Structure 1
Amino acid sequence: MLPELRQDLALHPGPDAPDGSPTWMLHDPASNRFFSLSWPAFELLSRWALGTVEALVDAVNRDTTLHVGEADVDGLARMLAGNHLIVPRGPQDTQRLAAHAQALKLSAGQWLLKNYLFFRLPLVRPMHWLQRMSPWVRWAYQPAFWAGVVGLSLLGLVLAARQWDEFTHTFTSYASWDGLLAIGIALSFAKVLHELGHAFTATRFGCRVPAMGVAFLVMWPVLYTDTNEAWKLRSRRQRLAIGAAGMLSELALAAIALVAWSLLPDTPGWGPVRSGAFLLATTTWVLTLAINASPFMRFDGYFLLSDAVNMPNLHERAFAMARWWLRECLFGWGDEPPEPVQPARRRWLIAFAAATWVYRLVLFLGIALLVYHAFFKALGLVLMAVELGWFIARPVWREFKAWWQRRADLRWNRASGRTVLLAGGLLVVLVWPWQTSVRAPGMLGPLQTQAVYAPYAAQVAGALPRAGDAVRAGQPLLALRSPELAARLAQAQAREQQLQWQLNQQPFDERLMEAGTALRKRWEAAAAEVSGLGEEMKRLTIVAPFDGKVADVTEDAPVGAWIPAGERLLQVIGSQGSKVDVFVDEASLPSIAEGQMARFVPAAPEQAAVQCKVARVDAVQLVSLDMPALAGPFGGEIPARRANDGRLLPLQPTFHVRLDQCGQAVALRTEWPGTAHLEGERRSLLGRAWQRAAATWHREAGL
């Protein structure tokens, strides 16, 4: 006996299938879902009242040109039962419904996970209002209106081109919290108009709009309109119009706003209105095309593409076809394709599924990083792990699970043999301990080098040495004069002499005797100040730190010139030997040890590569980088930012490695940036990846 169908179900004619056969839509009003039925399924369902399988099969085969069997009836019955489209009568139906209800029960963690990732919040039931307001928006569906929109777009572009500099520079005025608030208000207005475009267009074609509201995708609000009844429309043109209505509404708004921005006066009274028009003319259509037009997520672009190629449930069907193709390539099971399609359409579905997987992988990785940075570290790491596990690891695990469940079907054939060879080769590549080379930016320079800076704001009292002059350790290089420091020293000496006299007279003066030991403490402090200022005065005479030659003498310090504190004056280079300062990241640090060989390749082609040895590995990361040529702001490879005090701060953990014994008998006269290749320990790629991930987790978690 056939199960009894629910009485509230409705059948609607559907669009023709790609092969030209008719289709029908079965509507379930309880869940507002639509099911596409093929011609055989419709013929069976329309005679369902016959009651028995035999009578149903005989009637369809007798009255139509189709040939169906009991397997077709059984498949249709299972589809109806699985989607709760039949009336439950017996204990089996009760058990099925109970099992379904039990499967829908979620634990507290599952409920939180599901509602954190995605949930909908219906706000209004707009059907009555839409029907009442539809006559007032009929003008928006006339060809004359859209011809006017095209004309306004061209006029707006011409007017904006006449004041293009002002138009482009307006973007910079929104780089603030007030600007972001203005962008949010403009986007909210545009998105409401977007959803009203869907709703009014669906109402115009006789579809019911049961709800409008906001959906939260990973806690990010997105407006939505329930236009599921568009599936009952037989006209593909009407379905395309409903899907495109939102984006067309925003584009029309952008065209009007662009003309308004060009014509409105730039006065304080019209300033907010003009700013709003600018935002609507720029941000709305850009974000609409960037987000809604993408067919890789279930936004407007997906439904437009689905209707354009006449394939409902495009993602699911493409994924099923791609999974079938992947399994056949890997194992050669010989399964039939999920659905019969032309070879060209099959290849397109597989390519579309692959592109969607890559797009979603990049998108979900970006969302995971965004979620991590939006919360404090501990919660951010947990939520990022949830994102990666749910959106990336979970689908991969489900596919592996499906392979394992069919392990009994595995046979030795050409596909499985190729898979074994590829898997074995990949395993060898991942686990074999390769001899790795650590590549890191570095600076080749003389073994001994010392830059000379002005210790204080001072006046140059003597001529600077010339570049190339040989100097000895301790030899005076430059004399500076600081009247301020000399005056402070004179005052300190006078104060110290006065306190010393008072200290000598203390045994003979009752007033000084009352000061007690405090007088001696004051004298000792004054004497220490004199000694310190004397040492500072000695620093005004700059001497050579070691034997070498003078290089990089500044031309901005002639005799008598005043120079600020910290001004670079010259550099002293040692007479022999070279060294390389290398900067490595945290993941490469464990592979480097003292005594390892390294090869440094200068960036300048005229400088030959040199062989060196690791002399020192600093285990403490750098606080600041003192080699601007290697920093990102100056074109180097090390990510860094400039602090308010001028220092360069690395943006990621960076460690210093010193290389020496570079085979340079004569010291270089200048420094050369380049790349160092250090011999690392033998480690597998899998081990390196695990160590890098563990180090990142350990660092970001603050353990």
Structure 2
Amino acid sequence: MSRLPPLRQELTLTPGAATPDGAPTWMLHDPAANRFFQIGWPAFELLSRWPLDDARAIVESVNRETTLCVTPDDLEALVRMLRQQNLLIATHAQDTARLQQHADAQHTSRAMWLLKHYLMIRVPLWHPMAFLRRTARYVAFAYRPAFWTGVAIVALLGLFLASRHWDEFVHTFHGYADWRGLIGVGIALGFAKVLHEFAHAFTAQRYGCRVPTMGVALLVMVPVLYTDTTEAWKVPGRRQRLWIGAAGMLSEIALAALATLAWSVLPDGPLRAGAFMLATTTWIATLAINASPFMRFDGYFLLSDWLDMPNLHDRAFALGRWWLREWLFGFGDPQPEPCTAARRQFLIAFSFATWLYRVIVFMSIALVVYHAFFKLLGMLLFCVEFGWFIARPIWREAHLTWQRRDELHWRRETRRSALLGAALVAFFVLPWHAGVSAPAVLGPLRAQGLYTVEAGYLAANPPPARDGQHVRAGETLAVLVSPDLEGRLAEAKANEAQLRWEVEQQPFDDRLQQQGTALARRWDAARQTVAGLEAEIAQLTLRAPFDGTVQAADEQPAALTWLPRGERVYDLIAPDGVKADAYVSENDVTRLKAGQPAVFVASLPELAARRCRIDAIDKVNVATLDAPSVASTYGGPIPAEQDAKTHRLVPLQATWQVRLGSCNDNTGIGREINGTAQLGAGRESWLGRGARFVAAVLQREVGF
């Protein structure tokens, strides 16, 4: 390579910040793409002698005139970097073909472009440099120390005054829990974000940077403002770059301080409501969104400037991949870039934290879309995020490892990786997972509640049964006296007697003969009324339907105690036999069948486990939960809610009831006991379980 390809004439080269070890750097700016490249001293010396147009002459000049020692290979590497970044003038057909290939690679379909950029789509709206230059003098006060001293005083005073009315300040949130409050929050956030972006723009302009555009960015289709401050990398001083990155958050914090003081002194009204919105929403949004270093928001650029590491995410990910490959396979590759051990450990940890943060955020976005919009879009986004953040990195690393398979040898790292991989395969793929654990309720085999059919009081003779009393089938437990029923029965008997006399006298009375057969029908109805009332009064006598032990439903009922209609008076428990009901999800019910073993483990530690068998499995999922103790409403494990009309407990997810019987210990129990049932089922792998769960979700939500 004797003659060098010409550089593009619009490129600019400015001094940059020194590296942590003190080495000088320069920033190479490509204005067409608005990209910056940080280069070191050797590259700068080579570029500054580019007009010599001779590779040998450039290398000799650098070695002769500086303390550096460069080689033709260094120059060739620089030319290769410039060509890859399209910083050279195309002079040959090969260059044109390469540019065409690059353009074709950048061209994607609209669907693919949206798939890659749906998180952040920038729409530039304004070129603000002329406005910033004209109005810079009006905001110069914000860059003086006296201004920020005043902001600190205002913040302390506002917090002091707000603390004196803290209950009123906190309870103000409840006044904005409707659509008007949401509109107010939106207006407050909009005003704060406008101030935020102009703070970035004015600060960048103050330190000599050009702000090419301001506009709207669609953050997951939610519009937010943005300011292009890419040229901040041209500023050599790290302190100035930190001011540019922090200007937006500092402006919002200053606004929140002023708004807090305004809320404390303003009378009730729209102005005070607006001050409250600015005092509460601005700093919360700033800390929650802008301060995060895991996305390319203000927090990222602040951390990048503080560490003096441009392209922090890319460099951290490169170190993370290098560490992972070395830990797994021990390739012995050199470190991507030299740095201290402490910084290397921090960047590796930061790369994995960033990956985990993005996975959680993007999955959460998919979940919000799933619940807030139509579910198919949420499922599609979930699959995209899973493929992009989990499947794609694994596939790329696996592909790279396969390409370097000749370098793999048995060493400590590969043995450890093989053991770890075998353990993961055994854990997820092998069908070692057996059994289904489900909430269950153990109760007596026969139990029946006895209720009042009408309001009344307990008769003193015979006396009501006692709690714990053993009775036989048909034995009277209590007699309820209902004055209302007795009065209605007496009235009905009198009416029936009157109608019977009239029927008997009808052949001898002309007036009664005129009623004809209607009189006889009225007498039949009256007799049926008497029979019905007598049957109801007979039901007031509570009798034991089978042999068992009496349990008072609430407390021991006493004679002459008034009870309302539908009151549960007693529970009758059979002396022998138990049964259990377990509640399983739709993912587990297909693995169960009648005859499989089951073990009931009571929640009470003093009770021994009982071995039972599955007697039956309901064909359809339960519509209501008959055992309130397993419902989440009463502290149980099954999510449920109470129906407003029927007051029954309705499960929030598909639940099947599994009936257990033939327990080894058939000793009866006096009440229901909560516990867990370990149901025997065919062995299954976690991978198969997950695949069946995904298939069930797809079938339920998509409607296949």
Does the pair score TM above 0.5?
yes
Distance change >3 Å, CA 58–CA 581, structure 1 → 2: same
Contact preservation (8 Å) 2:478, 2:542: yes
**Could you say which residue in structure 1 is the equivalent of 2:374?**
376
Counterparts of 1:221 and 1:282, CA distance in 2: 21
Q: Deviations over 1:40-79 (max 9, x none)?
A: 1111111111112222212211211111122222222222
425-434 vs 287-296, which moves further = 425-434
Distance change >3 Å, CA 667–CA 24, structure 1 → 2: same
Structure 1 segment 153-302 matched on structure 2, within 5 A: 153-265=155-267, 270-302=268-300
Distance change >3 Å, CA 69–CA 384, structure 1 → 2: same
Contact preservation (8 Å) 2:465, 2:477: yes
Aligned-pair distance for 1:512?
11
**Could you say which residue in structure 1 is the equivalent of 2:28?**
26
Aligned-partner SS, 2:274: helix
153-162 vs 44-53, which moves further = 153-162
Aligned-pair distance for 1:308?
0.7
TM-score, normalised via structure 1 length: 0.89
Q: Deviations over 1:594-646 (max 9, x none)?
A: 22223322222333333332222224222222333222232222222333243
Q: Does 1:685 align with 2:686?
A: yes
Distance change >3 Å, CA 488–CA 692, structure 1 → 2: farther
- How many residues in Structure 1 have an aligned counterpart in Structure 2? 687
Counterparts of 2:128 and 2:525, CA distance in 1: 84
Q: Please give the root-mean-square deviation of Cα atoms over the aligned residues, in Å.
A: 3.5
Aligned-pair distance for 1:129?
1.8
Structure 1 segment 451-490 matched on structure 2, within 5 A: 451-454=449-452, 458-460=455-457, 462=459, 465-475=465-475, 477=477
Counterparts of 1:687 and 1:528, CA distance in 2: 65
Counterparts of 2:481 and 2:573, CA distance in 1: 25
The amino acid of 1:306's aligned partner reads: S
- Of residues 3, 7, 16, the one that matches 2:18 is 16
Aligned-pair distance for 1:566?
5.0
**Could you say which residue in structure 1 is the equivalent of 2:613?**
613
Contact preservation (8 Å) 2:369, 2:377: no
Structure 1 segment 74-473 matched on structure 2, within 5 A: 74-265=76-267, 270-454=268-452, 458-460=455-457, 462=459, 465-473=465-473
Distance change >3 Å, CA 104–CA 468, structure 1 → 2: same
Counterparts of 2:86 and 2:486, CA distance in 1: 97
Distance change >3 Å, CA 169–CA 525, structure 1 → 2: farther
Distance change >3 Å, CA 383–CA 430, structure 1 → 2: closer
Aligned-partner SS, 1:587: helix
Contact preservation (8 Å) 1:435, 1:679: no
Counterparts of 1:525 and 1:37, CA distance in 2: 108
Contact preservation (8 Å) 1:578, 1:662: yes
The amino acid of 1:684's aligned partner reads: S
Rg comparison, structure with higher value? 2
Aligned-pair distance for 1:535?
7.7
Distance change >3 Å, CA 621–CA 483, structure 1 → 2: farther
Distance change >3 Å, CA 115–CA 538, structure 1 → 2: farther
Aligned-partner SS, 2:224: strand
Aligned-partner SS, 2:434: strand
Distance change >3 Å, CA 544–CA 369, structure 1 → 2: farther
Aligned-pair distance for 1:446?
1.7
Aligned-pair distance for 1:528?
11
Distance change >3 Å, CA 158–CA 408, structure 1 → 2: same
**Could you say which residue in structure 1 is the equivalent of 2:69?**
67
Aligned-pair distance for 1:485?
8.4
477-486 vs 277-286, which moves further = 477-486
**Could you say which residue in structure 1 is the equivalent of 2:572?**
572
Structure 1 segment 518-533 matched on structure 2, within 5 A: none
Aligned-partner SS, 1:550: strand
The amino acid of 1:24's aligned partner reads: W
Distance change >3 Å, CA 563–CA 198, structure 1 → 2: farther
Q: Which runs of 5+ in 1 are unaligned?
A: 516-520
Structure 1 segment 15-54 matched on structure 2, within 5 A: 15-54=17-56
Aligned-partner SS, 2:332: coil
Aligned-pair distance for 1:409?
3.4
Contact preservation (8 Å) 1:467, 1:552: yes
The amino acid of 2:139's aligned partner reads: V
Distance change >3 Å, CA 272–CA 68, structure 1 → 2: same
Contact preservation (8 Å) 2:366, 2:382: yes
Distance change >3 Å, CA 622–CA 489, structure 1 → 2: farther
Contact preservation (8 Å) 2:467, 2:556: no
The amino acid of 2:658's aligned partner reads: V
The amino acid of 1:390's aligned partner reads: W
The amino acid of 2:292's aligned partner reads: S
Q: Which runs of 5+ in 2 are unaligned?
A: 508-512
Aligned-partner SS, 2:590: helix
Aligned-partner SS, 1:123: strand
**Could you say which residue in structure 1 is the equivalent of 2:639?**
639
**Could you say which residue in structure 2 is the equivalent of 1:598?**
598
Aligned-partner SS, 2:682: strand
Aligned-pair distance for 1:317?
0.3
Aligned-partner SS, 1:681: coil
TM-score, normalised via structure 2 length: 0.88
Aligned-pair distance for 1:221?
2.8
Q: Deviations over 1:541-573 (max 9, x none)?
A: 554443322224334976676656654433222
Counterparts of 1:601 and 1:81, CA distance in 2: 71
Distance change >3 Å, CA 420–CA 529, structure 1 → 2: farther
Aligned-pair distance for 1:307?
0.7
The amino acid of 1:209's aligned partner reads: V
Q: Deviations over 1:328-375 (max 9, x none)?
A: 122222211111112222111111111112222222221221121122
Aligned-partner SS, 1:554: coil
Counterparts of 1:550 and 1:317, CA distance in 2: 76
Distance change >3 Å, CA 619–CA 295, structure 1 → 2: farther
Counterparts of 1:558 and 1:129, CA distance in 2: 90
Aligned-pair distance for 1:686?
1.8
The amino acid of 2:397's aligned partner reads: E
Aligned-pair distance for 1:376?
2.2
Contact preservation (8 Å) 1:489, 1:533: yes
Aligned-pair distance for 1:37?
0.9
The amino acid of 1:301's aligned partner reads: G
The amino acid of 1:621's aligned partner reads: N
Counterparts of 2:516 and 2:406, CA distance in 1: 106
Q: Deviations over 1:164-189 (max 9, x none)?
A: 22222222333333322222222222
Aligned-partner SS, 2:587: coil
**Could you say which residue in structure 2 is the equivalent of 1:518?**
none
Counterparts of 1:409 and 1:491, CA distance in 2: 105
* Percent identity (aligned): 55
Aligned-partner SS, 2:439: strand
**Could you say which residue in structure 2 is the equivalent of 1:5?**
7
Counterparts of 1:188 and 1:566, CA distance in 2: 59
Q: Deviations over 1:486-514 (max 9, x none)?
A: 9999999999x99xx9xx99xxx99999x
**Could you say which residue in structure 1 is the equivalent of 2:510?**
none
The amino acid of 1:637's aligned partner reads: P
Distance change >3 Å, CA 249–CA 598, structure 1 → 2: same
Aligned-partner SS, 1:122: strand
Counterparts of 1:53 and 1:487, CA distance in 2: 121
The amino acid of 1:57's aligned partner reads: V
